Structure 1
Amino acid sequence: MVLCKLISSLYPEEQAPVKKIQASTMAFRQMEQISQFLKTTEGYDVNTTDIFQTVDLREGKNMAKSKENFSDNQFQEGKNVIGLQMGTNRGASQAGMTGYGMPCQIL
């Protein structure tokens, strides 16, 4: 609630990003308000990697992100690394593929 009130205070009342700010013991409602806050922070150019996750705040865990001391060269090198979530083409092959538009042959 505090975060929603804070972010809404930056807007005129009729343009507040979080319309209903209310106390609730329901996890769904609490997480919904946290998500609305996080979505609004994107308009302030806050990187999603620099902010907490909805579940982390709701459950009160993993809130302290440790900042490492990297050199400028290390940061530049990191930009060239493709993360595993991008996928890989290791083992990919077109061997055995037929041309497009050819009928399947059922034997």
Structure 2
Amino acid sequence: MVKRDPEQEKEVLEWISAVLGEKLPNQPYDDLLKNGILLCHLINKIVPGSVKKINEKGGQFQMMENVQRFQQAIKKYGLPEEEIFQTVDLTEKRNIAQVTLCLYALGRLTQKHPEYNGPTLGPKMAEENARNFSEEEIKRLRDTQIGLQAGFAGGASQSGHGGFGNTRHM
């Protein structure tokens, strides 16, 4: 299990608050997320209509349904299965750090969706930097350079080393 990072949790809450455009209640991180209501509102703000029904009140089962609906919505949005936390990680507070990592992955994924123009979370995604060389450029470079793959290492060798066990002459 990964150790919780209060700084990351603070960043996640700030991001959620910025996406929703509202100040979050002053509660512990895991308590704010536990019932899934905030998460459902978050994904609905990112992709309107992702979660059709949000249980605003009810027992633990209804709250678990919220979390599961959020998970289904982010999976549909494109988040890989391995980055999505298990329901019990949040509802039973078994692995809150995994929940944080999942939300970071979601915040990062929003950068790949041009239809979303809100705040993002985490490092900026790398953009493709395709290089297109003409056939003559490739041929010219192959003809003028000898790669290390060919076995040339600038003249270094073990010639003159002698055999195993020989003394070194000074």
Greater relative contact order: 1 or 2 (C-alpha under 8 angstroms, separation 6 or more)? 2
Aligned amino acid, residue 46 of structure 2 = L
Extract unaligned runs of 5+ from structure 2: 1-36, 102-170
The count of aligned residue pairs is 63
Quote the residue 2:84 is aligned against: 51
Residue from 18, 40, 53 that aligns with 1:4: 40
What is the CA deviation profile of residues 52-103 of structure 1, one whole-angstrom value per residue up to 9, with x for unaligned ones? 11111111121224x9xxxxxxxxxxxxxxxxxxxxxxxxxxxxxxxxxxxx
- Identity of aligned pairs, percent? 38
Choose between structure 1 and 2: higher helix proportion: 2
Deviation at 1:25, TM superposition (A): 4.4
Larger Rg: 2
Are 2:61 and 1:28 equivalent residues in the alignment? yes
What are the equivalent positions in structure 2 for 1:46-85 lying under 5 Å apart?
A: 46-65=79-98
Aligned amino acid, residue 79 of structure 2 = V
Deviation at 1:47, TM superposition (A): 1.3
Instruction: List 4+ stretches of structure 1 deviating above 3 A.
Output: none
Counterparts of 1:5 and 1:39 in 2: how far apart (Å)?
Answer: 14
